[in-house]
Amino acid sequence: MVQRRMFVALVPPPEVSGALEHFLEPRWEAEPALAWTPPEQWHVTLAFLPEVGEGSVPELVARLGRAGRKRRPMELRLDGGGVFPNPYEAKVLFLRLDLADEVNQELHRLATGVRHAAGRAGASPAAGRLQPHLTIARARRPFAAIKWLTVLSAWRSEDWICSEFRLIDSVLGAGPGGHPLYRTVATLPLG
């Protein structure tokens, strides 16, 4: 059986991605040790689905659609940077979602619903706690990221209303420069 790597995510609108790209572009060459995520791949993961059977995709889309209809659109904003696992041995550089408490709760309810729907469709999500973020770079080896946290603290996106989420296919190494190739399989509304 053919297995696909997929994930469910929120994708910032073009005006937010464009503003972030404008902010980051002059800095991309300043840190050659970082593998910068291409802007067309920016997203906030709700669930990673490492093995999805080809025959499960239609049921997965239907169940995700039902999960999305139970949630409402959310006002989101990217604000400030973060790193995994820590600032002194960073491997991932990201932007945080700045969320009001009620929006944070709604986002976690959506992620829980998405993960439950995926499991019911036979596409078990990877374990782990939801940590909403947008990855902008990965390090080839751990590095001290204090300056990057300072740089990213100067950027804040405009607010946007997120009214949909996506099921995305991920084909490792098939994109430009050896990056994964992401293809949207379904765009699902909230509410």
Structural domain harbouring 49: 3-189
Whole-number Å distance between alpha carbons of 150 and 159? 21
Contacts of residue 48, defined as CB under 8 A and 6 or more positions apart, other chains included, come to 7, 125, 126, 128
- Judging by beta carbons within 10 Å of its beta carbon (0-12, 13-18, 19+), is residue 176 exposed, middle or buried? exposed
pTM for the model: 0.94
- Higher pLDDT residue, 133 or 27? 133
β-pair partners for 45: 9
Residues of the chain with pLDDT > 90, as a percent, come to 86
pLDDT in tens, 88-108: 999 999 999 999 999 999 999
Sorting pLDDT into bands at 50, 70 and 90, what band is 1? low
pLDDT in tens, 9-18: 999 999 999 9
Taking the CA atoms of residue 117, residue 100, residue 151 and residue 88 in that order, the dihedral angle to the nearest 10 degrees is -60
CATH code: domain of residue 155? 3.90.1140.10
Work out the angle at residue 128's Cα, subtended by the Cα atoms of residues 126 and 131, and round it to the nearest 5 degrees: 120
**Overall number of domains in the chain:** 1
Sorting pLDDT into bands at 50, 70 and 90, what band is 132? very high
